[in-house]
Structure 1
């Protein structure tokens, strides 16, 4: 067979990497490393970078040089190994180089194509590192396939399972280091990811730890041996530690096939007996977390049980029998399980259409960039060149119920190259799926009043509208259950200033608060996930916004600066961006496509910035007499609304930088905040006169009477993501919930 007929698929995993060759005759063969298709992803930094079993053996002698799971360090930049800093990209490249060397040896020459898989949620930074590592490994230009798409291709092409029209495949991927669940549906001859979420801290390694914990419980009198196993100091203790964890993994795997297993505890010189029932009792809580997340993803995707065309178990840890049992109960569809689920993604990517997505733009000089009437960046220059930072490239299609970007669980965003025509198709589809009852909002009636202990300065609905998040003078943000009208959680941030703004991430899984420093918290785990005082922007933060497409937060401060934070890596992204030399940034807002950031502040103008290049785009929007205090983009990104200290509400055409009509007046005093309803036709404003007001965007006039009842200034307004409710936050310590009338 000609060498150029071989295609190589690589699944770079947390604990193991798998690679599969497919010849022009269709024959598929997994590559073997030390007689196993599972290459340990471990890398050892010595005189050279060792990989696989070589790295693990070297790590027994010098553990400080071993990185067992480079994929878990993907966001760290560099790691300290063997007394020196090693770039993470070099660790990944070393693993890929080992794979390609073996592939070329088996193929007898060069390869015709190389395809790399990646988690569905990986975006520009991580995909860029993977592409860079592939180049350093000598792979040249490679194709990319999301892991759930590769699994769906295997399900269809290798297993011959057909997904009926109008139905989706649920890919449950439980590997050694992480868990991911995705909803995938056919799209022509290929597949696309509709929704995806994961638990990056949960994997098969954590189940191994349960086996070790069980062994510890049964040998608790061996305190000294366990102390040496936990903190090995000698070479013998290192070997014993390695044997313990290898034995725990083997016992876990044996319990997938048999009802009992024994675990040898080195140094204690004892063996413990473990039954499948004992293991499943310990493993049930973490496994139920995976099924709970699966149900939530299906709910967010709007996928009822009758539209599930199959459930596919992928990843080595998915072979645990309890996984299939719990998942079957959760989704009411029997899962498809294989004997070797570790090989699915690597082989499946060879049947999928590999993509070289649009990458981070290079070379359009900032002076040439403009904003086209549809809100996208436009220029007369050549098409954007490709660099190693891929943009997301799967479409969010309108066949499932349309939602605001913040409601989807890591919903895959639209790509940068989506045309104006395609945007219009999506907008039209939204109105087909979500028709207005009678043409628009006509007023609002009070549903509930939430009584707090201090002035409320910011409010935000959660994704399903059952809760609101508030912040204010108590200095501790609070989550409220709207049905019970009670506080669910309080966040003890020890702020010395009032919480000036709260926000939810696009997928509803993370909350951000500012009131001096920036903090962001996990909704599910109720834990601070970053944004602590290690960051450079620790005081004077006045505004915060989540990007709808990237793992980015933008913050503005009273020094006139805007900073970007990568929440996946818990690091500042890029350099500090100076908006004003002397003045405050009062508000920040991302455009719906995440390509632009609007900033407002002391100069009375609104500035647009290219998020990728961190350069201003076009002229400022000028017209307010005094400070601009709040602003928001319309759902289609073509219009921006602003409110200011001059007491007016203004509408702006983003494309040509012109005001739309005359200022909207009615407030007696400053307008602190504005919000766009997801219907795109209605705007709300919050005023110092103690009222909130609704405005018709098309007619450019106030809708009905002002919303009254607050006894003091109204600081914030927020619409629920279904557009049916409005929340108002006030100095009078209350938050009011209003139902919109049509």
Structure 2
């Protein structure tokens, strides 16, 4: 007998790689829905004539036509369209297809469509993405859903369903290692409520990255004959695609078996080899990646100023978190025994049913209208005076962990005592466009030990005609109003919806210049990227803003806010002084400095999330997943596409850099591959190999003849590109190297990483020159002063520090 619809509740965890659904019916415990006999439904979609296949059906169909396959529709949900084969689909339709599969199975099992549906989402998703997810649910035939953030849903399962109790005011940490991404959140117990107080994530670290490392290890252990592994890496025939799929399935099964056993067997098709993998081998391969997740966990706690004495529980969720090494590394750092269930992938969907969240509202025809917001959940800094004004143009709503305010346009500036107020500008609306594609590969080259000469500096700047259009006619500018009153800080302030409209092209008058230079203090949030311009301007990127200041302190700081998503990179133009690119979400925003009043001049819409950013005279390069797109900043159009890797399990990009001349571009991947392209050529001119350790960062020497790479195991390699020889510094850092930078005169290399240290190396000998100690979090970014006398570092501890190149001593002046 079927239950009443109002009595059936359904929780759906729509994940990047997999989707899980748990249903509760009257008198029965909540149980997961099964898809082809498994609670895990791959989120993949495949386009056929007249319909979209989902899950394992999509994966099987992809063997015959990979171009019509999208393995991660969640990553595309904010895009306008997605090209599958020869057809374009609305991105929301792909998500709707996955949810429709869940809805059909729920109705089949319960005999009725569930009356209550809860969809989970990342803690940082804005109202715009939730509306798209609500639209997908409507198209799938589901009732208007309630939304719960993933960490709150996970915490609800442990607290409400499993009976864990914690003191009021204490915190629990949710460590979520899924198939394609990693997220960590701190949830505060506030009476009967659960509040997300801090969150962080790694969009390209997950179980699939460990699978990559295993496959590369197998290739090195069982080399086979010429061309056999190429058939598995880049299959061209349906038979080889089936072989590739079988290998990856065996790798995933072996990884799961090794969470319980000490060894596992797997079969390598094409080579026709029965291989073996041990727990010890798996731990060696996974350790660099898991060390990154643990380091981010500690950084998030440190950034939120939460000591371990305030952490009452550490919970592991997501299918990849079942690896015993995850618990071992976390316990070593936190001194807290983590809690992990036998099926950690079910936790979020199970907790969603009872998790607090926000409702979506439907119009009379049933279509979604808007999402009701809860009060914002943010970590407030100590109260300080804030100079507030209203932006001259409509701005993108700010994102908070649990709520967003629509039609918001705010300028918020900290004003320390006797200091100039920084200005705050907002990014313009985002146009949509799609680039062309190209492909190419080349064979790896041998390596040896180099002898490094002293390259000459090459850091010329100057204006250029092609950028004139990009710098003209700004689409938006905002400055602080001088007559605004001083108030206490507030997360948001609303403007009437009637003010919404197209951005103005006129530049409003700026506030009068301040009487004295601003004395900067460390801003809130981890420092993710730095960019130092020849004219002395320093751009400091944090997740929700970019602060631009002068190293000398001769001008007030300017804060650029309201980008498309978390900021991932900043770069100054090498041709046009004062032109700054900011990568965030699916966009790159160009900002023009007009006498310290920044105006957004153009927004480039990318087809996927921007992961890396680099700028040269040739163009503005972005890394999105497994592709490199080169954009013309004057027109905003894509002029070239290089494919770093191909296939559903392609190697994700982790590093991207132009040389100073702009005639070579290097990219590094999570499996240790480095490819170097020359402009005008489709195939890479050089392919280098750091396997099995993934590449995290790259930098060219000033003359472009040498390349330094930092890897996930803490090593550095200095490559001579003329013959692909290298010098390997295996223990340069105690953990992953996150950033490298070559000095302007080519004599020194600076590196920083998870071990919180800044290290200087002699580029000619590879010997350590100096060590800078002072940061308390991961060193994420480095840059050199133009004269080469100082190194500037940014860290997850929220500080920007300066170090002398000669002695490695820290300078007293803090920046950013």
- Is the structural similarity TM-score above 0.5? yes
Where 2:358 maps in the other structure, the secondary structure is coil
Q: Deviations 1:368-424 (Å, cap 9, x if unpaired)? A: xxxxxxxxxxxxxxxxxx96565864523568867999xxx98627643899xxx9x
Does the alignment pair 1:92 with 2:81?
A: no
State which of 39, 44, 47 in structure 1 corresponds to 2:46. 44
Inter-partner Cα distance in structure 2 for 1:35 and 1:530: 36
Deviation at 1:353, TM superposition (A): 2.3
Match of 2:332 in 1: 329
Match of 1:412 in 2: 401
State which of 556, 561, 565 in structure 1 corresponds to 2:599. 556
Structure 2 gaps, min length 5: 387-397, 421-458, 462-516, 542-547, 549-554, 612-619, 621-794, 803-810
184-193 vs 471-480, which moves further: 471-480
Deviation at 1:461, TM superposition (A): 5.9
Inter-partner Cα distance in structure 2 for 1:15 and 1:466: 28
Q: Go from structure 1 to structure 2 and tell me whether the alpha carbon gap of 1:97 and 1:403 turns closer, same or farther (over 3 Å shift).
A: farther
Inter-partner Cα distance in structure 1 for 2:801 and 2:132: 42
Match of 1:395 in 2: 376
State which of 570, 575, 589 in structure 2 corresponds to 1:512. 570
Does the alignment pair 1:296 with 2:277?
A: no
Where 1:356 maps in the other structure, the secondary structure is strand
Larger radius of gyration: 1
Does the alignment pair 1:197 with 2:178?
A: no
Q: Deviations 1:28-64 (Å, cap 9, x if unpaired)? A: 1211111111112111100211112221222222222
Inter-partner Cα distance in structure 2 for 1:724 and 1:34: 50
Inter-partner Cα distance in structure 2 for 1:415 and 1:179: 23
Match of 1:208 in 2: 211
Match of 2:6 in 1: 4
Alignment of 1:535-684 (within 5 A): 542=594, 556=599, 569-570=609-610
State which of 125, 129, 144 in structure 2 corresponds to 1:122. 125
Q: Deviations 1:477-530 (Å, cap 9, x if unpaired)? A: 5889xxxxxxxxxx9xxxxxxx998767799964535554432369xxxxxx98
Q: Go from structure 1 to structure 2 and tell me whether the alpha carbon gap of 1:19 and 1:721 turns closer, same or farther (over 3 Å shift).
A: closer
Deviation at 1:566, TM superposition (A): 9.1
Inter-partner Cα distance in structure 1 for 2:126 and 2:172: 22
226-235 vs 68-77, which moves further: 68-77
Match of 2:149 in 1: 146
Q: Go from structure 1 to structure 2 and tell me whether the alpha carbon gap of 1:410 and 1:531 turns closer, same or farther (over 3 Å shift).
A: closer
**Residue 572 of structure 2 contacts residue 580 of structure 2 at CA under 8 Å; is this kept in 1?**
yes
Q: Go from structure 1 to structure 2 and tell me whether the alpha carbon gap of 1:453 and 1:302 turns closer, same or farther (over 3 Å shift).
A: farther
Q: Go from structure 1 to structure 2 and tell me whether the alpha carbon gap of 1:98 and 1:502 turns closer, same or farther (over 3 Å shift).
A: same
Inter-partner Cα distance in structure 1 for 2:205 and 2:123: 17
501-510 vs 157-166, which moves further: 501-510
Q: Go from structure 1 to structure 2 and tell me whether the alpha carbon gap of 1:399 and 1:274 turns closer, same or farther (over 3 Å shift).
A: same
**Residue 194 of structure 1 contacts residue 411 of structure 1 at CA under 8 Å; is this kept in 2?**
no
Q: Go from structure 1 to structure 2 and tell me whether the alpha carbon gap of 1:247 and 1:466 turns closer, same or farther (over 3 Å shift).
A: closer
Deviation at 1:272, TM superposition (A): 2.3
Match of 2:220 in 1: 217
Deviation at 1:358, TM superposition (A): 9.2
**Residue 194 of structure 1 contacts residue 301 of structure 1 at CA under 8 Å; is this kept in 2?**
yes
Deviation at 1:153, TM superposition (A): 0.4
Q: Deviations 1:114-142 (Å, cap 9, x if unpaired)? A: 11001111113322221111111111311
Alignment of 1:377-396 (within 5 A): 390=371, 393=374, 395-396=376-377
Does the alignment pair 1:238 with 2:227?
A: no
Equivalent residue pairs, number? 495
Where 1:60 maps in the other structure, the secondary structure is coil
Deviation at 1:336, TM superposition (A): 0.5
Inter-partner Cα distance in structure 2 for 1:30 and 1:466: 38
Where 2:316 maps in the other structure, the secondary structure is strand
Give the CA RMSD over aligned residues. 4.8
Match of 1:35 in 2: 37
Match of 1:252 in 2: 255
Greater fraction of residues in helix: 1
Match of 1:280 in 2: 283
Structure 1 gaps, min length 5: 363-385, 424-429, 431-435, 445-451, 481-490, 492-498, 523-528, 546-554, 573-719, 728-735
Q: Deviations 1:573-592 (Å, cap 9, x if unpaired)? A: xxxxxxxxxxxxxxxxxxxx
Deviation at 1:304, TM superposition (A): 0.7
Deviation at 1:541, TM superposition (A): 5.7
Q: Go from structure 1 to structure 2 and tell me whether the alpha carbon gap of 1:476 and 1:219 turns closer, same or farther (over 3 Å shift).
A: farther
**Residue 251 of structure 1 contacts residue 263 of structure 1 at CA under 8 Å; is this kept in 2?**
yes
* TM-score where L is the length of structure 1: 0.58
Inter-partner Cα distance in structure 2 for 1:344 and 1:21: 13
**Residue 4 of structure 1 contacts residue 109 of structure 1 at CA under 8 Å; is this kept in 2?**
no
Deviation at 1:721, TM superposition (A): 14
